[in-house]
């Protein structure tokens, strides 16, 4: 029987998922198939990607897009698939029978269905298929009741609505649907004697009428959530309390990384003292934003053409690059060879057309963006090999022996096509940029925060963790002071949920103006004052890649095995406060820390398949547990009265452990040589703070109870 | 008044006049120098020239130069302090208010931004400013501000369909059915059926039906609704919920007649 249960289900669900589990190892499916119509949209432009994929990622789900024009994948027997997400954009289907049959087969195999109305099936033309699709989502009924100011809210689960804004006035019309027995109705509305369950968690998954969950901004404003999308997705997909692979946190601290694109490298700074000396913006950035921060890693990505005299580059630009690359905190990226502005232009490329646009003979298409031309330098026909492998090779000529280009930092619109992403993989480069994440006064919604990445054509692009200054400065033309307020995004993407790492991402043209330099400095200083774990851009890209590959097995009640995680080293559990890591039962867990309402468990990179036990009030554990650290930690070994580990990172190695109360002798060695040794005290709670001298190369640290 | 006192008063007056004259003479020179520094990107010099001058708080030219100087140094907080102080004593200072809104649009808080947008729109009365108010009112879910924005916009230029529909929605929701009705009957004839959101058409439909103008309701619906009989059940539900079975029957008669080719729509009257 359908009932209202106006209580939060979270705790019950968590207890259910963690407490009642089968004894055999069972893979926890974490892929959602999102259907779309390729005539109306693309994965990257779809509403699923732009609104739902970030919350899904936060809940540990990865999204696989399937164009309904293609043969739909056979998912019924695929243990990796958790469910289907259907948020339709485009015309209703002329021939929906195959789609409905496919969904029914998946449902029969236990896959969940989240249907966000309206349905892609026209009820008038295909009443039976319409009914069957709704039934697959756990809904029934039909017939539209139009708005017109008469719709009333009959029921809403407390705390579920008003997530970013209240329900609209007047309420929209609705499909007269009712949730099937066994459902929980989250929102019910009515008009006169008609009523509808416009948001419901059903035994099959979930249903939501789009107008009741997402507000489309007026007059060009951004979208805002009317309801809590995390709660809806968590419950509709029966995700419980985790574990969820996490890309925001490492060894108990928020991840920090930074990168600079090469745009404006050779521009002469307009800061008077530097302008007189014709100082390049890149040198100003080096002097003010990189050199003073040896504890804050940054990836610097020149445009290869700036370094190549054949393309207008200069030797002076190369001198600055060489100096930057030699700094210990600097890692190297590539920002392409000729700086494409609109990557899509080169997918189906015509050199004569590009020449005509560059010469002003052909009017540029609006899709070329504010630059109005396909790329910055067009002396030769576009060549994939040149943009990727040759650019990296050209930049590497200026790199010290121990460093090489690690990451392709996408230029321009950061919408690379599959072949160019494939080229980065062939060149053994990671790739990043795009996403333009932002949540602040101008974009007061988490819809402004991107997914971790986007997949298309068998390739995957990793998005930056935040938007760069272009989004604040009208693409580098005005309001140069404004980028300082990017820290609003960093704050709002941290609480009440940690949705993003801190990523200070800017361009070399920030060195052109005093306000820009001060804005970036402000952000770095702000980040520096927080509890962060600074990593390189490549580290983050690897962690993000790990998110897409990791799999999780349930191996017992509250016990999970983590497989194939790559560089991803944190699993998050959204569990009540009395749940904790049972370290005695776990393998490969460095420790755990509560942040917001979640428990973040740090994994030991040296352990290939860690096992985690999470339970209510676990037995006390005599061994050392890491709470948080500024440096990544690995190879933890515990013995009675002793623990040792390997760690290295940027800045001082500040870390907090829980161990047996009392005095401890802590010794740090590099290549067998003692470089620091001190006696510390673990307080009555067993908390001991260790501070190691700066060392980007790994130190072996031993702690012995005295 | 004693002679000595008269002398004192005259001296004070002369000093005041002198100061004013000096300020009048020096002010353009100061402004020119500050603006030259601003153009040269020497924001520190702007600060040195204008930093402690009391008349920055009274002279809009000096103020904006000082503000741009601070912004040039990345000091938006300092610029905001100057602007806020100035607009408190010069509430009609449009340029200063626009600059304030520009900063608040990035910095927040949203409530302050909305207040600034409202002040600007009321002063400037331009379509762009009313639209900016509408956008931020919507982001703040502030229906009153939305209404003010759209009513202001309606005076500045003819509303687009989407704007008319939203205003009518707000009017209807606040009980101003007549105003909503007038607005919709004015806006919808200019619209093509596919441009009209079903809910908006429905709003007009409901307003007409409620006021007993069933035939008109029918005609609107015939023109605007894709599936002409679809609203009947919901409309009936509304009428029945209002305990008006006579109106409900009139609607049924009207629609049943209307759905037949060449039908006599007497029931609609």
Task: Note the pLDDT of residue B125.
Answer: 97
Asked if B234 and A485 come within 8 Å (Cβ–Cβ), the reply is no
CB A110 within 8 A of CB A174: no
Which residues of chain A neighbour B207 with C-beta distances below 8 Å? 148
Element (H, E) at A131: helix A127-136
- Interchain CB contacts (distance < 8 Å): A and B: 153
Is A192 in Cβ contact with B234 (below 8 Å)?
yes
Structure tokens at B103: 């900063």
Cβ–Cβ < 8 Å for B235, B205: yes
Do residues A430 and A407 make contact, with C-beta atoms less than 8 angstroms apart?
yes
Give the whole-angstrom CA distance, residue A354 versus residue A368: 11
DSSP per residue, A489-551: HHHHTTSSS--S-EEEEEEGGGGG-HHHHHHHHHHHHHHHTS-EEE--HHHHHHHHHHHHH-E
Neighboring chain B residues of A218 at a CB cutoff of 8 Å: 134-135, 138, 146, 162, 166
pLDDT tens-digit readout, A171-213: 888 888 999 999 999 999 998 778 999 999 999 999 999 999 9
Compare all CA atoms of chain A with the CA of B239 and give the residue at the minimum distance. Answer: A192
Task: Give me the residues of A, 434-473, that contact B with CB < 8 A.
Answer: 440-442, 444, 472
ipTM: 0.90
CA-closest candidate to residue A308, choices A268, A279, A274, A339: A339
State the average pLDDT over residues A251-265: 98
| A285 vs B3 pLDDT, higher one | A285
Look at residue A679 and tell me whether its pLDDT is greater than 60.
Answer: yes
Q: Could you report the per-residue pLDDT of B109-127, keeping only the tens digit for each?
A: 999 999 999 999 999 999 9
Q: What is the pLDDT of residue B185?
A: 76
- Asked if A158 has any chain B CB less than 8 Å from its own CB, the reply is no
Q: Smallest Cβ distance to B105: which of A270, A442, A514?
A: A442
Q: Tell whether the model's pLDDT for residue A2 goes beyond 70.
A: no
**Lowest-confidence range among A66-80, A231-245, B204-218?**
B204-218
- Selected residue with higher pLDDT from B185 and B165: B165
H/E element, A205? strand A205-209
Query: What is the distance in angstroms between the Cα of B192 and the nearest Cα belonging to chain A?
Result: 19
CB–CB contact A442 B202 (8 Å): no
For chain A, positions 499-538, list CB contacts with chain B under 8 A.
513-519, 522
Q: Note the pLDDT of residue A24.
A: 74
A632 conformational bin, left if phi > 0, alpha if psi -120 to 50, beta if neither: beta
Mean pLDDT of B149-159: 96
Tell me which of A7-16, A526-535, B67-76 is least confident.
A7-16
Q: Give the per-residue pLDDT at B229.
A: 47
pLDDT tens profile A385-442: 999 999 999 999 999 999 999 999 999 999 999 999 999 999 999 999 999 999 999 9
**Structure confidence at residue B12 as a pLDDT band (50, 70, 90):** confident
Candidates B40, B102, B172; nearest CB to A149: B172
**Nearest CA to CA, how far is A479 from chain B (Å)?**
8
- Cβ of A518 within 8 Å of Cβ of B73? The answer is yes
Q: Which helix (H) or strand (E) is A231 found in, with range?
A: helix A229-236
Query: Is the CB of residue A401 less than 8 Å away from at least one CB of chain B?
Result: no
In whole numbers, what is the pLDDT of chain A averaged over residues? 94
Q: Do B74 and A173 touch (CB under 8 A)?
A: no
Handedness of CA A96, A102, A105, A111 (dihedral sign): negative
Spatial distance between the Cα atoms of A226 and A230, rounded to a whole number of angstroms: 12
In this prediction, what percent of chain A has a pLDDT beyond 70? Answer: 96
A124 touches chain B (CB under 8 A): yes
Cβ–Cβ gap A513/B108 under 8 Å: no
| Residue B49 pLDDT > 80 | yes
Q: Closest Cα to residue B133, out of B122, B120, B117, B110?
A: B117
Window 269-328 of A: residues touching B by CB (8 A cutoff) are: 270-272, 275
A240 band by pLDDT with thresholds 50, 70 and 90: very high
pLDDT of residue A202: 98
Query: Which of the residue ranges B24-28, B207-211, B252-256 would you say has the lowest mean pLDDT?
Result: B24-28
Most A-contacting residue of B238, B245, B247, B251 (CB-CB within 10 A), to test interface: B238
pLDDT band at B58 (very low <50, low <70, confident <90, very high): confident
Question: Min CA distance, A191 vs chain B (Å)?
Answer: 7
Contacts within 8 Å (CB) and 24+ apart, A162-166: A162/A226, A163/A225, A163/A226, A163/A227, A163/A228, A163/A229, A164/A215, A164/A224, A164/A225, A164/A226, A164/A444, A164/A445, A164/A446, A165/A215, A165/A224, A165/A225, A165/A226, A165/B139, A165/B141, A166/A226, A166/B141
The pLDDT value recorded for residue A174 is 87
Contact A633, A648 (CB under 8 A): no
Nearest to B52 by CA among B66, B38, B41: B66
The span from the CA of B173 to the CA of A169, in Å, is: 7
Q: Which among A147, A171, A174, A513 is the top mutation candidate for probing chain B, defined by the most B β-carbons within 10 Å of its own β-carbon?
A: A147
| A548-604 per-position pLDDT tens digit | 999 999 999 999 999 999 999 999 999 999 999 999 999 999 999 999 999 999 999
- Which whole number is the average pLDDT over B149-174? 91
Does pLDDT of B258 surpass 50? yes
CB pair distance less than 8 Å for B233 and A517:
no
Q: Quick one: pLDDT band at residue B221, thresholds 50, 70, 90? A: low
- Band the pLDDT of B195: cuts 50, 70, 90: low
User: pLDDT category, B262, cuts 50, 70, 90?
Assistant: very low
Q: Is the pLDDT reported for residue B23 higher than 60?
A: no
| CA–CA dist B175, A648 (Å, integer) | 67
């Amino acid at each position: 029987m359908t009932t209202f249960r106006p209580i939060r289900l979270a705790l019950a669900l968590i207890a259910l998922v963690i407490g009642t589990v089968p004894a055999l190892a069972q893979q926890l499916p974490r892929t959602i198939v999102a259907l779309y119509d390729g005539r109306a949209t693309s994965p990257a432009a779809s509403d699923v990607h732009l609104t739902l994929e970030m919350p899904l990622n936060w809940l540990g789900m990865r999204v696989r897009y399937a164009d309904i024009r293609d043969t739909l994948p056979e998912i019924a027997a695929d243990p990796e698939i958790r469910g289907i997400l259907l948020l339709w954009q485009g015309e209703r289907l002329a021939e929906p029978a195959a789609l409905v049959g496919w969904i029914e087969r998946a449902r029969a195999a236990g896959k969940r269905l989240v249907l966000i109305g309206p349905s892609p099936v026209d009820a008038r033309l295909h009443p039976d298929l319409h009914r069957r699709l709704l039934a697959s989502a756990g809904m029934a009924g039909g017939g539209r009741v139009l708005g017109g100011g008469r719709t009333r809210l009959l029921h809403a689960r407390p705390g579920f609505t008003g997530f970013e804004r209240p329900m609209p006035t007047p309420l929209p019309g609705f499909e007269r649907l009712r949730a099937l027995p066994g459902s929980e109705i989250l929102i019910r509305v009515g008009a006169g004697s008609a009523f509808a369950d416009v948001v419901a968690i059903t035994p099959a998954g979930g249903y939501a009428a789009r107008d009741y969950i997402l507000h489309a901004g007026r007059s060009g404003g951004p979208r805002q959530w009317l309801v809590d999308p995390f709660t809806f997705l968590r419950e509709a997909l029966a995700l419980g309390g985790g574990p969820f692979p996490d890309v925001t946190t490492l060894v108990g601290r928020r991840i920090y990384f930074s990168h600079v694109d090469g745009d404006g490298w050779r521009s002469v700074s307009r800061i008077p003292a530097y302008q007189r000396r014709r100082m390049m913006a890149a040198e100003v950035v080096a002097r003010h934003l990189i050199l003073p921060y040896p504890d804050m890693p940054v990836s610097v990505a020149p445009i290869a053409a700036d370094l190549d005299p054949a393309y207008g580059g200069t030797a002076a630009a190369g001198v600055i690059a060489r100096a930057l690359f030699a700094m210990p905190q600097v890692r190297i990226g590539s920002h392409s060879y000729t700086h494409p502005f609109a990557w899509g232009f080169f997918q189906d490329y015509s050199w004569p057309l590009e020449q005509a646009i560059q010469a002003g003979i052909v009017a540029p298409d609006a899709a070329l963006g504010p630059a109005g031309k396909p790329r910055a330098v067009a002396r030769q026909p576009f060549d994939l090999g040149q943009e990727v492998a040759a650019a990296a090779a050209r930049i590497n000529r200026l790199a010290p022996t121990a460093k090489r280009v690690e990451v392709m930092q996408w230029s321009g619109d950061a919408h690379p096509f599959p072949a160019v992403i494939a080229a980065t993989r062939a060149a053994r480069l990671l790739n990043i940029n795009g996403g333009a994440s932002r949540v602040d006064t101008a974009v007061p919604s988490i819809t402004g925060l991107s997914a971790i990445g986007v997949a298309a054509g068998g390739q995957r692009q990793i998005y930056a963790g935040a938007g760069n200054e272009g989004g604040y400065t009208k693409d580098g033309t005005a309001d140069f002071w404004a980028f300082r307020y990017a820290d609003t995004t960093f704050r709002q993407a941290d609480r009440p949920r940690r949705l993003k790492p801190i990523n200070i991402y800017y361009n070399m043209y920030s060195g052109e103006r005093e306000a820009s330099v001060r804005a970036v400095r402000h952000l770095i200083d702000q980040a520096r004052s927080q509890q962060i774990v600074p990593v390189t851009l490549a580290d983050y890209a690897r962690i993000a890649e790990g998110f897409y590959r990791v799999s999780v097995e349930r191996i017992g009640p509250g016990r999970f095995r983590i497989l194939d995680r790559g560089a991803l080293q944190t699993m998050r559990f959204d569990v009540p406060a009395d749940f904790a890591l049972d370290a005695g039962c776990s393998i490969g867990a460095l420790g755990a820390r509560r942040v917001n309402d979640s428990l973040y468990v740090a994994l030991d990179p040296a352990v290939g398949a860690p096992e985690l036990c999470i339970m209510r009030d676990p037995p006390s554990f005599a061994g050392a547990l890491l709470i948080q650290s500024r440096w990544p930690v690995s190879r933890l070994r515990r013995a009675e009265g002793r623990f040792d580990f390997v760690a290295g990172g940027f800045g001082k190695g500040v870390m907090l452990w829980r161990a047996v109360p009392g005095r401890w002798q802590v010794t740090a060695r590099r290549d067998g040589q003692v470089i620091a040794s001190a006696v510390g005290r673990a307080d009555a709670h067993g908390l001991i703070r260790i501070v190691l001298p700066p060392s980007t190369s790994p130190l072996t640290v031993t702690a012995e109870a005295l | 008044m004693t002679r000595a006192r008269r002398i004192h008063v005259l001296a004070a007056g002369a000093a005041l006049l002198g100061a004013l004259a000096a300020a009048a003479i020096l002010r353009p020179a100061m402004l020119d120098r500050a603006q030259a520094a601003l153009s040269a990107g020497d924001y520190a010099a702007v600060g040195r020239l204008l930093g402690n001058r009391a008349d920055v708080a009274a002279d809009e030219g000096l103020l904006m130069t000082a503000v741009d100087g601070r912004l040039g140094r990345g000091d938006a907080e300092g610029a905001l302090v100057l602007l806020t102080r100035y607009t408190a004593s010069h509430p009609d200072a449009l340029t200063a208010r626009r600059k304030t809104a520009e900063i608040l649009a990035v910095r927040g808080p949203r409530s302050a931004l909305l207040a600034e947008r409202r002040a600007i729109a009321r002063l400037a009365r331009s379509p762009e400013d009313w639209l900016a108010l509408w956008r931020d009112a919507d982001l703040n879910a502030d229906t009153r501000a939305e209404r003010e924005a759209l009513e202001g916009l309606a005076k500045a230029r003819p509303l687009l369909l989407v704007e008319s529909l939203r205003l009518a929605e707000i009017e209807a929701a606040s009980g101003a059915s007549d105003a909503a009705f007038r607005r919709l009957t004015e806006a919808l004839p200019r619209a093509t059926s596919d441009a009209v959101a079903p809910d908006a058409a429905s709003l007009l439909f409901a307003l007409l039906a409620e006021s007993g103008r069933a035939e008109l309701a029918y005609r609107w619906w015939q023109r605007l609704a894709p599936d002409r009989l679809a609203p009947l059940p919901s409309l009936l539900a509304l009428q029945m919920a209002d305990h008006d079975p006579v109106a409900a029957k009139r609607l049924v008669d009207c629609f049943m007649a209307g759905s037949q080719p060449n039908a006599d729509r007497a029931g609609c009257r």
